[in-house]
Amino acid sequence: MRLTIETDLRYHFAEPADVLLTVEVAQLPDQALIGDRLVIDGVGPLRAIDGEDGIGRRTWMRAEGDFQARYSAEVELDRRPVTIDELPITPRRELPASVIPYLWPSRYCEADRFEAFVEREFPGANHGARVLAMAKWIREHLDYCPGASDARTTAVDVFVSRQGVCRDFAHLLASFARAAGVPARLVSAYAWDLDPPDFHAVVEVWLAGDWYLVDPTELAPHDGLVRIAVGRDATDIAFMTIFGTAELIEQSVSVRRQDTALPG
């Protein structure tokens, strides 16, 4: 599947502020970046740095006044369906060093608060089926409600309120998985066929020696997810982190599929 991605971010900064922008498509084996372009107005010098775990790229800048960031990309996805039901959960003592931090609680994923609940609600199976049961529970018990949460909302808040948006669903699934001894990280993504179009948050879990995508919302096709960044929670994957204040003027995300015509 080949996708065309376009993002337009417009803000106004009344005072100068440092900004960390994370909107560029990550180059990974199952998503080949054909080409991309990032154009930013209203900022000082740009400095690119690697994303978390070396996945993706972030860009530092100093913004003031009217700010606009336009990003476009063309990407080829080659992600075959994978069933994780029978993939084994790796014992904690056998996890590689780079994966261990994704077992720990983080700012938005208070995994330690869910250990008793997870043990009682999702007993038994030491396989990926346990993670899928968690995702199903979240879909069945949470309402998807835009505006129901904000930048302070944690997994515990969502568990209590039983409503939220994609990042809240992802925070809760990551918390459940970590409580069960499954490393889990948040993933920001562009998503084909997501309605309305926006940045999307999903989860990757570590099973049988690799990371596997799980979307607890099931709002977009799995094979149409284009990863941008990964991290412990929304802190690490935010598309725009502002060290100061800014006024949102306009924001848009577009993901279109390029259908190849069959030869006549």
Q: Over the chain, what is the mean pLDDT?
A: 95
Average pLDDT (8-20) is 97
The amino acid at residue 11 is: Y
Whether 262 has a pLDDT exceeding 80, the answer reads no
Tens digit of each residue's pLDDT (9 = 90 or more) over 199-234: 999 999 999 999 999 999 999 999 999 999 999 999
Tens digit of each residue's pLDDT (9 = 90 or more) over 54-110: 999 999 999 999 999 999 999 999 988 889 999 999 999 999 999 999 999 999 999
pLDDT for res 124: 80
pLDDT for res 260: 54
Taking alpha carbons only, the member of 22, 29, 6 closest to residue 76 is 29
Among the CATH numbers 2.60.40.2250, 3.40.30.10, 3.10.450.350, 2.60.40.1180, which is that of 2-78+241-257? 2.60.40.2250
* Extents of the domains making up the chain: 2-78+241-257, 92-236
Q: What percent of the chain has pLDDT over 70?
A: 98
* CATH code for the structural domain at 92-236: 3.10.620.30
What angle is formed at CA 204 by the lines to CA 202 and CA 209, rounded to 5 degrees?
Answer: 170
Average pLDDT (168-178) is 98
Average pLDDT (25-32) is 96
Q: DSSP letter at 245?
A: -
pLDDT for res 217: 97
Specify the residue for token string 């993901």. 255
Whether 165 has a pLDDT exceeding 80, the answer reads yes
Average pLDDT (131-153) is 96
Q: Do 52 and 171 contact (CB within 8 A), yes or no?
A: no
